[in-house]
Structure 1
Amino acid sequence: MAVRKIEHVGIMVKDMEASIAFYRDVLGLVLLGSLDHGNGTVKLAFLGTPGAEETQVELVEGYNGGLPAEGKVHHIAFTVDNLDAEIERIDKLGITFIDPDITTLPNGARYRFFYGPDGEWLELFEPAAAK
């Protein structure tokens, strides 16, 4: 049996509303749904790209207020059509970049990392042009 897709990437957050606003306003994701986990403390929110049916990002609030190291996600990559335009757009929003410049891979793909609201690493990724 082969893996068919990535279901979601879970990110522990301190402030659900602030994190939803960040992923919506900075990355253009849409809120697909939210719910209480059922234990009275954990809240979940599911975000995806506009028009997509599958969940791409799961935000988890209340699991552990200290945002522990276990299960820490290194980064999430988001595909963009025009990396330069997206960097210019989010730079105006006051986003802090990790990399000083765009990195170009040997195949022509380009990317740049930046911080999310809880210090998580996020990546804007522009695939190499098809040959």
Structure 2
Amino acid sequence: MAIKKLEHVGIMVADLEKSIGFYRDAIGMELRGTLVHTNPSIILAFLSFPNSSQTEVELIHGYQSNLPKEGVVHHLAFTVDHMETEIERLKQLDVTFQDKEITILPNGAKYIFFYGPDNESIELFEPAT
């Protein structure tokens, strides 16, 4: 199995700048960067703790305008070395994929979503090389 680590937790936010400020000032994280998604209405912000190269929180702005009081945690993401190999392995376990195709972000990173046993959203993430 090539799943290596918990990549990030994606959180839907209504106000990206306010949320960045909160995770920076109240939690002590640092903004590592932002990325406009392939859907240009979605902007992603990545934060982690100082002296840590691992992304811990992904803020998702523009995905959904009406955020629920519960369930703003959008997904769990796990890092993989080779996306296609992991997809084939999971298909052998009868995992149901949300996406028909792998999404490739402008920076070259890849992801795909599938469902856990309680319909929770789980992402496989292959970092850009």
* CA–CA distance in structure 1, aligned partners of residues 72 and 20 of structure 2: 19
TM-score, normalisation: structure 2: 0.52
Aligned to 1:14: 14
* CA–CA distance in structure 2, aligned partners of residues 8 and 14 of structure 1: 19
Aligned to 1:123: none
If asked which structure has higher relative contact order (CA below 8 Å, sep 6+), I would say 2
Aligned to 2:56: 56
Aligned length: 74
Please report how far the alpha carbon of residue 51 of structure 1 lies from its aligned counterpart in structure 2 after TM superposition: 0.9
Preserved contact between residue 12 and residue 73 of structure 2 (Cα < 8 Å): no
TM-score, normalisation: structure 1: 0.51
Task: Specify every segment of 5 or more residues in structure 2 that has no aligned partner in the other structure, as ranges.
Answer: 75-129
Task: Specify every segment of 5 or more residues in structure 1 that has no aligned partner in the other structure, as ranges.
Answer: 75-131
Q: Which has the larger radius of gyration?
A: 1
- What is the alpha-carbon root mean square deviation over aligned residues? 2.2
Preserved contact between residue 44 and residue 61 of structure 2 (Cα < 8 Å): yes
SS in 2 for 1:7: strand
Aligned to 1:79: none
Aligned positions of 1:1-131 closer than 5 A = 1=1, 3-68=3-68, 72-73=72-73
* CA–CA distance in structure 1, aligned partners of residues 38 and 2 of structure 2: 31
Which structure 1 residue ranges, 4+ long, deviate > 6 Å from structure 2?
A: none
Please report how far the alpha carbon of residue 4 of structure 1 lies from its aligned counterpart in structure 2 after TM superposition: 2.4
SS in 2 for 1:27: coil
